[in-house]
């Protein structure tokens, strides 16, 4: 038993709300106390990690989503204290498993958000100076339930039990200017622990708040709605992930949301650069920003705008931006590549559209210099019919554009963005999505994790997944395969027990699960899945499928 685990348990009791005892505490009380104890324990490492990055080349990951998962399990794993802390809790009448009742931070929805989380996790483990920027949503996307065969959407109030993993940094707040009001962007920092490295990265999330709490004079005049109008309008910006944009009002809120975190993040980066004695004219050589999809692409014209405000010419400012940004494309669907009308951009953020127009003019000049004909130039234009294409803006203004799988990248180059690849082939790269084995293997399946470590002789595979290749000789080992199947059977029984306890559904543990965990939407292809189920049903009914495994 290490002193560190014992110290964390001691601090847990000190930080517990309402003076609760560990053995008698609710899951929320235990989580709050334990999380605060862990943050307190790693505080010095977090500060030292930040100090090491000062004045050096740094990278930032801009993403509308960060699907981090439950931090308590991941952070204890990274500290190497999971079993010890669980053992100490057991002696007090509690268990880490009790904290499964606490939901994770509702900051993302799908693969885009999980990719962002895995990048931060891997970077911290590799001691790379990468920090994340995003939005601290109040309710996330939504909490999904199915009633009467229909999806029901409910608010995901993930902070109702508090948010012990976030540190509010009010002293670093910045003001974001919109046409109708100024909004305060207040940062909340989350620690991102590296696996057994003592290195800690930072995920900085911006919360939208009014510059003034409310209009006291109007409140005294009993005009309560108007008194709180600015407050509500500001807070709406970070209230939910992907607000409905069926109407122009919804589209303007989307633009505000994207500009809000893009502007706040760029302001923060420039402030850090100047505070650490850096020259903003050399920003391109010391700063790299990865744009995760098109949501943060407004950061490009915003950086150009802010640099010109500091006295740089447009050409100089745009030249710097082209060194700073790179863009990750996640979709081949044209309707998902964001395009914003001039009137909507100007209604939300006056002045930004002018910067996009100047960038579009720079593109036209560059294409003319390359001898590109007018027809292709029109296809590559950033602005067409008074509408700004965010993907085109990101490709032209960025150093690189990458897809997230080989086939995806090939489709981008050969079909969706073929003209861009013909003119700028050197800018397209493939970076296949990966996942962190620490969360998706070590945390999810401790039994299998223990078997792998025993067979390999150590747990080096947790930081070098290529080590698993050394398991190939065991492919014909009857004893190892028997143990492997026993681990799978144990997990099946655990799932069956969970389903029966939680939902009252009894299942055969030999059942094969074909699961699609997504919100219900046309392009998520649930309909195709149901058609496949019907096909299997008719084949079984007609006797054409006789060896079907229960699914």
Contact 119, 130 (CB under 8 A): yes
Least confident of 212-226, 237-251, 360-374: 212-226
Collapsing DSSP to helix, strand or coil, 326 comes out as: strand
Most confident of 242-246, 379-383, 431-435, 506-510: 379-383
Cβ 518 vs Cβ 526: under 8 Å = yes
Instruction: Assess whether pLDDT exceeds 70 at residue 304.
Output: yes
Cβ atoms within 10 Å, residue 86: 15
The beta-strand segments (E) located in 58-198 are: 58-63, 130-135, 143-147, 150-154, 167-168, 174-177, 182-193
State the pLDDT confidence band at 165, using cuts at 50, 70 and 90.
Answer: very high
Beta partners for residue 150, in sequence order: 147
On the 0-12 / 13-18 / 19+ scale of CB atoms within 10 A, 462 is: buried
pLDDT (tens digit per residue) in 98-112? 998 898 899 998 889
Three-state secondary structure of 213-224: CCCHHHHHCCCH
The pLDDT of residue 116 is 96
Give residue 527's pLDDT.
82
Q: Is the pLDDT of residue 144 over 80?
A: no
pLDDT at 1 over 70: no
Residue 427 CA to residue 398 CA, distance in Å, equals 8
What is d(CA 333, CA 267) in angstroms, rounded to the nearest whole number?
32
Instruction: Give yes or no for a contact between 363 and 382, defined as CB atoms under 8 angstroms apart.
Output: yes
Torsion, Cα 120 121 127 133, to 10 degrees, reads 20
Do 57 and 285 meet the contact criterion of CB atoms below 8 Å apart? yes
Which three-class secondary structure state does DSSP give residue 462? helix
pLDDT value for 503: 85
Determine the topology of domain 250-436 in CATH. Answer: Rossmann fold (3.40.50)
Question: Quick one: pLDDT band at residue 273, thresholds 50, 70, 90?
Answer: very high
Contact 321, 394 (CB under 8 A): no
> With 80 as the cut, is the pLDDT of residue 550 above it?
no
Which of the four pLDDT bands, split at 50, 70 and 90, describes residue 226? confident
Please state, as a whole number, how many other Cβ atoms lie within 10 Å of the Cβ of residue 225.
Answer: 8
Location of each CATH 3.40.50.2000 domain in the chain: 1-56+69-106+134-242, 250-436
Q: Which residues contact 136 (CB under 8 A, 6 or more apart)?
A: 107, 166, 188, 205, 206, 207, 238
pLDDT in tens, 515-526: 877 777 766 778
Q: Are 35 and 73 spatial neighbours (Cβ–Cβ below 8 Å)? A: no
Cα separation, 200 vs 193, whole angstroms: 5
Which token pair is 410?
A: 């090939």
CB 155 within 8 A of CB 139: yes
Q: What pLDDT does residue 183 have? A: 98
Percent of the chain past pLDDT 70, that is, above it, reads 98
User: Computed from CA positions of residues 13, 16, 20, 26, in that sequence, does the dihedral angle turn out positive or negative?
Assistant: negative
Closest-CA residue to 96 (of 30, 190, 187):
30
pLDDT of residue 515: 82
What percentage of the chain carries pLDDT values higher than 90? 74
The confidence band for 227, taking pLDDT boundaries of 50, 70 and 90, is low
CATH number of 1-56+69-106+134-242: 3.40.50.2000
Q: What is the mean pLDDT of the chain?
A: 92
pLDDT band for 361, please (50, 70, 90 cuts).
very high
Q: In terms of C-beta density within 10 A (0-12 exposed, 13-18 middle, 19 or more buried), how is residue 464 classed?
A: exposed
Instruction: Measure the CA–CA gap between 495 and 491, rounded to whole angstroms.
Output: 6
Check residue 114 and give left, alpha or beta (phi > 0: left; psi -120 to 50: alpha).
alpha
CA distance 84 to 6: 8
Q: d(Cα 321, Cα 283) in Å, to the nearest integer?
A: 9
Residue (of 164, 32, 155) closest to 98 by Cα position: 32
Backbone angles phi, psi at 376, to 5 degrees: -70, -35
Helix (H, G, I), strand (E, B) or coil at 69: coil
291, 62 Cβ separation under 8 angstroms: yes
pLDDT tens-digit readout, 17-30: 767 789 889 999 99
Q: What is the pLDDT of residues 78-98, one digit of tens each?
A: 999 999 999 999 999 999 999
- What is the value of pTM for the model shown? 0.94
What is the rounded CA–CA span in Å between residue 310 and residue 47?
30
Structural tokens at position 80: 């190497």
Burial environment of residue 17 by CB neighbours within 10 A (0 to 12, 13 to 18, 19 or more)? middle
- From the DSSP assignment, how many helices (H) and strands (E) are in the chain? 22, 15
Question: Of the candidates 64, 63, 156, 238, which has an alpha carbon nearest to the alpha carbon of residue 519?
Answer: 156
Q: What is the pLDDT of residue 439?
A: 93
Which conformational region is residue 278 in: left (phi greater than 0), alpha (psi within -120 to 50 degrees), or beta? beta
Q: What is the pLDDT of residue 224?
A: 66
Q: How far is CA 122 from the centre of its chain?
A: 14
- Written as six digits, the tokens of 71 are 């931090």
Find the largest Cα–Cα distance for the chain: 81
- Tens-place pLDDT, residues 534-545: 998 899 888 888
Q: Is the pLDDT of residue 149 over 90?
A: no
Least confident of 317-326, 411-420, 437-446, 504-513: 504-513
């Amino acid at each position: 038993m290490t002193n560190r685990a014992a110290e964390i348990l001691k601090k847990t009791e000190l930080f517990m709300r309402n003076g609760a005892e560990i053995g008698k505490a609710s899951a929320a009380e235990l989580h709050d106390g334990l999380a605060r104890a862990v943050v307190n324990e790693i505080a010095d490492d977090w500060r030292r990690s930040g100090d090491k990055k000062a004045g050096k080349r740094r990278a930032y990951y801009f993403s509308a989503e960060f699907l981090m998962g439950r931090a308590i399990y991941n952070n204890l794993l990274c500290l190497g204290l999971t079993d010890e802390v669980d053992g100490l809790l057991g002696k007090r009448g509690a268990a880490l498993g009790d904290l499964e009742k606490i939901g994770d931070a509702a900051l993302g929805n799908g693969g885009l958000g999980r990719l962002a989380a895995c990048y931060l996790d891997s970077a911290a483990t590799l001691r790379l100076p990468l920090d994340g920027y995003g939005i601290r949503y109040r309710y996330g996307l939504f909490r999904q339930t199915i009633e009467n065969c229909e999806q029901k959407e409910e608010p995901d109030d993930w902070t109702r039990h508090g948010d012990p993993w976030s540190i509010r940094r009010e002293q670093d707040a910045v003001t974001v200017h919109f046409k109708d009001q100024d909004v305060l962007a207040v940062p909340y920092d989350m620690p991102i622990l590296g696996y057994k490295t003592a290195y800690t990265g930072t995920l900085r999330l911006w919360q939208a708040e009014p510059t003034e709490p409310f209009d006291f004079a109007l409140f005294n005049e009993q005009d309560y709605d108007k008194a709180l109008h600015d407050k509500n309008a500001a807070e709406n910006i970070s209230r939910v992930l992907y607000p409905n944009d069926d109407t122009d009002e919804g589209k303007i809120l989307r633009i505000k949301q994207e500009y809000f975190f893009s502007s706040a993040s760029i302001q923060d980066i420039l402030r850090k650069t100047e505070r650490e004695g850096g020259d903003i004219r050399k920003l391109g050589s010391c700063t790299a920003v990865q744009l995760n999809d098109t949501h943060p692409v407004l950061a490009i014209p915003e950086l150009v705008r802010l640099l010109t405000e500091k006295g740089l010419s447009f050409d100089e400012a745009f030249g710097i931006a082209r060194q700073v940004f790179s863009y990750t494309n996640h979709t081949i669907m044209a309707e998902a590549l964001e395009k914003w009308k001039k009137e909507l951009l100007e209604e939300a953020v006056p002045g930004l559209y002018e910067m996009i127009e100047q960038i579009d003019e720079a593109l036209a000049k560059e294409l003319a210099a390359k001898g590109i004909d007018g027809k292709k130039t029109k296809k590559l234009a950033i602005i067409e019919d008074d509408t700004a294409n965010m993907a085109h803006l990101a490709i032209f203004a960025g150093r690189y554009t990458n897809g997230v799988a080989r086939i995806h990248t090939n489709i981008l180059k050969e079909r969706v963005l073929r003209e861009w690849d013909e003119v700028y082939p050197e800018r397209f790269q493939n970076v296949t999505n990966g996942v962190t084995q620490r969360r998706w293997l070590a945390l999810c399946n401790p039994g299998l994790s223990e078997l792998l470590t025993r067979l390999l002789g150590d747990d080096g595979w947790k930081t070098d997944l290529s080590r698993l290749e050394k398991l190939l000789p065991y492919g014909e080992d009857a004893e190892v395969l028997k143990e492997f199947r026993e681990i799978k059977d144990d997990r099946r029984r655990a799932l069956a027990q969970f389903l029966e306890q939680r939902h009252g559904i009894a299942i055969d543990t030999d059942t094969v699960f074909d699961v699609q965990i997504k919100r219900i939407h046309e392009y998520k292809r649930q309909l195709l899945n149901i058609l496949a189920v019907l096909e299997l049903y008719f084949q079984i009914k007609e006797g054409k499928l006789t060896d079907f495994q229960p699914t």
